[in-house]
Structure 1
């Protein structure tokens, strides 16, 4: 098989995996009412259909990425596929709430292995330069499409078939991806076969799970409640202990020296901030379209298609410009455009139509995000030893997921407080809801504006003959 054909199929396998992983974060939302009726969930249990996946996914990303480096990226990728496919089959056939929640947790674990391994496979398959930038562009675009089309895909599957098919549809995709992987992906791993830092793995996984648990618990508990504060304190203790362990062990799970590479550190901060706002856009715009504009779920899903297309366009523009202008210019420009889109969203009123108030800013935000994603992936992996490909892939994916979880929880709390205050003054429900949404978007604009400023710290493109990446 020609090299171009093989690498194209490697890209296809990696993109299929990333699409499934990101899609399954959001596709279940539309199916929750049907699941509640079919399996008898109570309100709290139903929330954990989403949260079980989020917890496992965010908690195991770093471990999954490092495992790919140590035990082989193709092997770990196939293990993740197996876990994800088996959990999808069990979830689709589940007739008990507990079994479905367990399946969702295993799905999240499979996703935590798949996502960084898929990116690490691309990093080690494509040489640094234009071809890798294009590959990262498609990988980022497909992830963005997965997040944007979850509601639409869920609505179609539930409407035409049943809620079970939001899980079962993954099974043939997993089989196809596994066949492609076995056929075209070559095995690679870190040189020297360093040992697995078990203590570090336990500490960072437990710390990230505690952090995400504390954040998602704010859906039902106030930030000052014992469950939330207890989880956040436990997360701080565990993650602090993890850093101390990493400084002492011979083969750390996360060599702290990687954070001295300025592009790695700044890129992770940028994606943390941008993701904290990005996740909120899909959430708040969906609520506004259905709660204020009166769209049904399917119409709302279709209304997101321009945003999905804008993510793809932005990603392709970014991947083509990366070799010419470098990651810094695209990160600054993309984040600035995203911030401007959120600021535009802040002018929404209850009577603003979809065309006048949602379409334009939605395209601006999505196009900006499309510019950011390939650039931040390139920046976060540039100048890093190939033996750490899985680790840095896990780092950037963890930053994206943690940022999204924290941002959505904080902005939701802010929106609810603002909506409650406006509603208490006698304003009708649509006006109160819109006030909460615009308050959240105003803060999101500021946060992404800060991300644009942080992106200025990303090193400029290295001149020829300059071997070392900038370090902090």
Structure 2
């Protein structure tokens, strides 16, 4: 055996370790991208606790308060696929910077708002900024690193901070509202946006784009309206129930529009979403896993927030701080997920994460009325948070693997869409289950909804184990329409 052959394994290990490390420039770029995504994740929940205070100060009718949240959710979810493709066509860095500027301007308007209309317009602006920045930032990450340990590590950090952001938003919103003013929930974004705008142009890089195809305008309009209608119907279900025409009308309309969208894409010479891309099982089933992972766990947090406040009697701020343990678990899950993926596969990470999440959720279906349950609840949600993030990082890796660089914006747009639709879908469904059986007491309804939540997580793991197929190569893009 030659010396070269003997030295080969050690060189392979050294190269693997080196490929997992970030260069100094990559560290700064990642810091910018992670800061932006964490801030946007916080925006999903930071105003929830403050809604009554905003209503009193600006004169919102109680029935109209939901629009402070809905205006953001509708635009963030509805436009994300469109802007994911725009990032591919016109530049991820450019779209990222435009989105950050819009975030700063709309947040400043929201912080200074003196009437309801201005605040709602500001939340729309924040939602559109989120739809721009999130897929652009994610595709900058996936094109910054080749498939392998470094990309998995980057996506793990991103998943950890975004999941922590959803939890931190509720805590931070309560603290700001109580200590200073709800307006600082907007002003913080202005500060972050100013810093990112100054630093990002000098540290963000993206591959040189080839020939620029045309934007599929009919497809873009159809899918955007379909997503807005779907999220509006789901959101309405959370506020007014599933039996209302205002719930099923938009949902049915969205299904019809999705059908029209797929017909448009099959006819278009340069489609917004190539049908062959959606036929890849890594993308279709990877995003299904993401939708269910986000839908089950974010809705579980909602159910446990009700339990801590309305059954155990904790204040909103105390409940938010208690669930901060969950935030620590999500960060840990995001850090260990890349190691699990590297040693096994993204599919194994998804299945193991969902199964562990379900196992941690099952005991919560037996929660009782005494505060002795607080410690078990926190311990189980910590474990569930770790497992959920392992599954989430796995789905992002699976859903972007084998996709050519020129389609990464679209792939990450699909990833972001599944995330946001999952968040929008989970809470109304679990809320309907909990309140539908609550009758005179809330606890039985919560127990039933949590049990269903665990079953969905188990079912998701079984589906992914059976149907998700990862690309054969970890480095080469897949041929069109192949797994």
Task: Give the TM-score range, shorter chain.
Answer: over 0.9
Q: Does 1:275 align with 2:285?
A: no
Distance 2:100 2:230 in 1: 26
Distance 1:467 1:111 in 2: 28
* Aligned residues of 1:74 and 1:188 also touching (Cα < 8 A): no
Distance 2:43 2:477 in 1: 40
Q: Deviations over 1:45-102 (max 9, x none)?
A: 1111011000000100101111111000000001111111111110000000011011
Residue 454 to residue 111, structure 1, CA distance change in 2 (3 Å): same
More off after superposition, 314-323 vs 56-65: 314-323
Aligned to 1:366: 385
Distance 2:402 2:374 in 1: 44
* Aligned residues of 1:75 and 1:187 also touching (Cα < 8 A): no
Distance 1:216 1:355 in 2: 30
* Aligned residues of 1:308 and 1:366 also touching (Cα < 8 A): yes
CA positional deviation for 1:220: 3.4
Residue 59 to residue 395, structure 1, CA distance change in 2 (3 Å): same
* Aligned residues of 2:471 and 2:478 also touching (Cα < 8 A): no
Q: Does 1:385 align with 2:395?
A: no
* Aligned residues of 1:326 and 1:461 also touching (Cα < 8 A): no
Distance 1:50 1:222 in 2: 17
Aligned to 2:464: 455
Distance 1:461 1:241 in 2: 29
Distance 1:156 1:311 in 2: 21
Q: Deviations over 1:426-448 (max 9, x none)?
A: xxxxxx22211111111111111
Q: Does 1:192 align with 2:192?
A: no
Q: What are the equivalent positions in structure 2 for 1:428-443 lying under 5 Å apart?
A: 432-443=441-452
Residue 68 to residue 460, structure 1, CA distance change in 2 (3 Å): closer
CA positional deviation for 1:461: 7.5
Q: 2:425 aligns with which of 378, 388, 406?
A: 406
Aligned to 1:218: 237
**Gap regions ≥5 residues in structure 2:** 1-20
CA positional deviation for 1:299: 1.6
Distance 1:138 1:235 in 2: 34
Distance 2:448 2:209 in 1: 47
Aligned to 1:74: 93
Q: Does 1:34 align with 2:53?
A: yes
Aligned to 1:143: 162
CA positional deviation for 1:180: 2.3
Query: Normalization by structure 2: what TM-score?
Result: 0.92
Aligned to 1:260: 279
CA positional deviation for 1:463: 6.6
SS in 2 for 1:252: coil
Q: Deviations over 1:222-278 (max 9, x none)?
A: 323221222112111211111100001111111111122221111111111122211
CA positional deviation for 1:356: 3.9
Distance 1:220 1:145 in 2: 25
Distance 1:314 1:27 in 2: 22
Distance 2:399 2:156 in 1: 14
The size of the alignment, in residue pairs, is: 461
CA positional deviation for 1:321: 2.4
* Aligned residues of 2:400 and 2:411 also touching (Cα < 8 A): yes
Aligned to 1:315: 334
Distance 1:14 1:464 in 2: 24
CA positional deviation for 1:151: 1.2
Q: What are the equivalent positions in structure 2 for 1:16-165 lying under 5 Å apart?
A: 16-165=35-184
Q: Deviations over 1:341-390 (max 9, x none)?
A: 22121111112524444112211210111211211110000011111111
SS in 2 for 1:220: helix
Aligned to 1:345: 364
Distance 1:191 1:350 in 2: 62
Aligned to 2:454: 445
Residue 191 to residue 95, structure 1, CA distance change in 2 (3 Å): same
Aligned to 1:428: none
* Aligned residues of 1:7 and 1:126 also touching (Cα < 8 A): no
> Please, what is the CA RMSD of the aligned residues?
1.8
**Gap regions ≥5 residues in structure 1:** 424-431
Distance 2:427 2:177 in 1: 25
Aligned to 1:327: 346
More off after superposition, 29-38 vs 397-406: 397-406
SS in 2 for 1:338: helix
